[in-house]
Amino acid sequence: MTEFTGKTVLITGAAGALGRALVDAFAKAGANTVVAARRNSEQIAAETAGEALGVALDVTSENAWADAVSATEARFGGVDVLINNAAYLQVGTAESIAIDEWRKVIDTNLTGALLGIRAVVPSMRSRGGGSIVNINSIAGLAAAPGLIAYSSSKWALRGLMRAAAAELAPDNIRVNAVHPGIIDTPLAYGPDGSELVPTSSFAIPRQASPDEITEFVTFVASDRASFATGAELVVDGGFTLGPIK
């Protein structure tokens, strides 16, 4: 028996670097893992240990969410844990961001999370409760000049999380957030291979590995965090402390 044996975990954005790490972590912990991504979901599920289901999911589509949850219920009976990990980032300032790009960021990062919560709640309620974890960002905690749409979406995601936590508490559904710092993924580097956000001057002067972040996400999603809802876990290597040297 492992921590998530008998539980079904649906992970969005599962084709990305952090998403793949989350899929592997929950699978190793015994979960029935639902690999939800716009592409390659079935291939990733086939490569995943244990019981895994791949579902095609555009998080901005209510119909796609309904289909994903229906497929999950047909295969595993329902959803116990939702990891809202899908995200979209577009560089742009308040003056320069194209409105269609602004809307795409908001639709993916904020509306996508709302649609996910809305889609899984009936399933969780029927199973006596559940756990929802929103993957937020340090951009939702501090100023992020040049990332006006992404930062706005992540700040708003904090409000969504707290309101949902209060609304769903009577149903024994916990809603929490993890705020990762800079993760060693392709998104952390510019075209020339340099770090977009240099980490050498911060308290822990390096990027996090995706596997390090999954340790915190699995904790928050698990019964070990049963007394936490509406909470935010900051895992940023001291980024929000500011430069220390």
Mean pLDDT of 1-19: 94
Mean pLDDT of 167-187: 95
Mean pLDDT of 38-46: 96
Mean pLDDT of 229-243: 96
**Which phi and psi angles does 25 have, rounded to 5°?**
-65, -45
* pLDDT for the residue numbered 1: 52
Would you please indicate which residues are annotated as catalytic (active-site) residues? 150
Torsion angle (degrees, nearest 10) of CA 235, 237, 243, 245: 160
Mean pLDDT of 113-127: 98
**Within a domain: 202:** no
Six token digits for residue 157: 């995601």
* pLDDT for the residue numbered 153: 98
**Within a domain: 63:** yes
pLDDT category at 196 given cuts 50, 70, 90 is confident
pLDDT category at 57 given cuts 50, 70, 90 is very high
C-alpha 217/C-alpha 168 separation (Å) is 20
Q: b or e along 134-150 (b: 16 or more beta carbons within 10 Å of the residue's beta carbon)?
A: bbbbbbbbeebeebbbb
Tracing tokens 């979406």 back to the chain, one arrives at 153
CATH number at residue 173: 3.40.50.720
Mean pLDDT of 39-65: 96
**Within a domain: 195:** no
pLDDT category at 187 given cuts 50, 70, 90 is confident
Sheet architecture: strand order including 173-180: 52-56, 32-37, 8-11, 81-84, 130-135, 173-180, 232-235
Percent of the chain with pLDDT over 70: 100
Mean pLDDT of 162-180: 98
* pLDDT for the residue numbered 205: 95
pLDDT category at 149 given cuts 50, 70, 90 is very high
**Within a domain: 187:** no
C-alpha 245/C-alpha 242 separation (Å) is 9
**Within a domain: 194:** no
* pLDDT for the residue numbered 189: 83
**Within a domain: 156:** yes
Query: In a 10 Å sphere around its CB, with 0-12 CB exposed, 13-18 middle and 19+ buried, how is residue 74 labelled?
Result: exposed
Contacts with 204 (C-beta within 8 Å, 6 or more apart), sequence order: 237, 238
**Within a domain: 154:** yes
User: Worst-scoring range by mean pLDDT, 37-41, 42-46, 182-186?
Assistant: 182-186
pLDDT at residue 8 tops 70: yes
* Structural domain containing residue 147: 8-182+210-234
Mean pLDDT of 75-83: 98
Q: Please tell me the total count of domains within the chain.
A: 1
* pLDDT for the residue numbered 193: 86
pLDDT at residue 134 tops 90: yes
End-to-end C-alpha distance for the chain, whole angstroms:
46
Average pLDDT, the chain: 96
* pLDDT for the residue numbered 212: 97
Tracing tokens 């392709």 back to the chain, one arrives at 186
Contacts with 90 (C-beta within 8 Å, 6 or more apart), sequence order: 97, 101, 102, 104, 105, 149, 150
**Within a domain: 240:** no
The dihedral built from the CA positions of residue 216, 77, 173 and 175, taken in this order, carries a sign that is: positive
